[in-house]
Amino acid sequence: MTDEMTPGSEYNDFSGWPKIWLKAITSPSEATFEEIAESPSATMGNAFVWVVLTAIIATVFSVMSSLLNEYVYGVTQGGGMGIGLVACITPIASIIGILVFTGLSNGVAKMMGGTGTFDKLLFTTAAYSLPIALLTGAASLIPVVDIIGACLLGIYSLVLMVIAVKAVHQFEWGQAVAAGIAPTILLICIAAICVMGSVALLGPAIEGSFQEIIDSLE
């Protein structure tokens, strides 16, 4: 028996899922993601299950990291309340993040003439997001490695997204790159606008506070 993802193969049951996840991150190519998108497991239901599993993994490691910081490294995380907040916010943020990111990429791809579908792109995105979440979570438990690991895996995720978009929407590389990184650029722009807006609104108050401190020191 081979590892080729063909209709009717063992990839159609739970035991075949880890093989898809492993192949997505260890053999990334247009052919690999085409196989994943067309595999028997490529259903919207499985895609959502994988997204939820990714959120659970991210939550578990986030809580573990918070516990280590709070009780081992002495970095305050707000105690039990802060850790509880992490446990509540992380799964919701993870699920929304994957759905929004994939939806934006798919929308841009459609506007550029892509032939793929949201469910196929979500499935391929979830296929690499789950193992990436596992690796990122494991790295988060190791000081210094957590920051470097998160940056490298974040970049790798963008690369995988571009390949997934190319495979699902049958794009050239230029189109795939544009559709794959569009959500990241958009989110960065939104964040920058929010920061600049906050500075503009809070600037006078901050300036006044600094002036009061200076006056009290004179």
Count of beta carbons in the 10 Å neighbourhood of residue 20: 26
What was the pLDDT predicted at 133? Answer: 86
* Residues whose CB falls within 8 Å of the CB of residue 59, separated by 6 or more in sequence, listed in order: 86, 87, 90, 91, 94
What was the pLDDT predicted at 164? Answer: 94
State how far Cα 141 lies from the chain centre: 18
Q: CA-to-CA distance for 34 and 164, rounded, in angstroms? A: 8
Each residue's pLDDT, cut to its tens digit, for the chain (218 residues) gives 444 444 435 455 567 788 888 999 999 999 999 999 888 888 888 888 888 888 888 888 877 777 776 666 555 555 555 656 766 777 787 788 888 889 999 999 999 999 999 999 999 999 998 889 888 888 877 777 778 888 899 899 999 999 999 999 999 999 999 998 888 888 788 878 877 777 777 666 555 555 556 656 55
Residue-wise pLDDT tens digits, 191-201? 788 777 777 77
Query: 95 exposed, middle or buried (CB, 10 Å; 0-12, 13-18, 19+)?
Result: middle
Which two structure tokens, joined as six digits, stand for 73? 């490294």
What was the pLDDT predicted at 70? Answer: 66
Nearest alpha carbon to residue 59 among 85, 30, 31: 85
Do residues 167 and 33 touch, judged by C-beta distance below 8 A? yes
Q: Count of alpha carbons within 13 Å of 24, Cβ hemisphere only? A: 28
Could you identify the residue written with the tokens 């906050």? 198
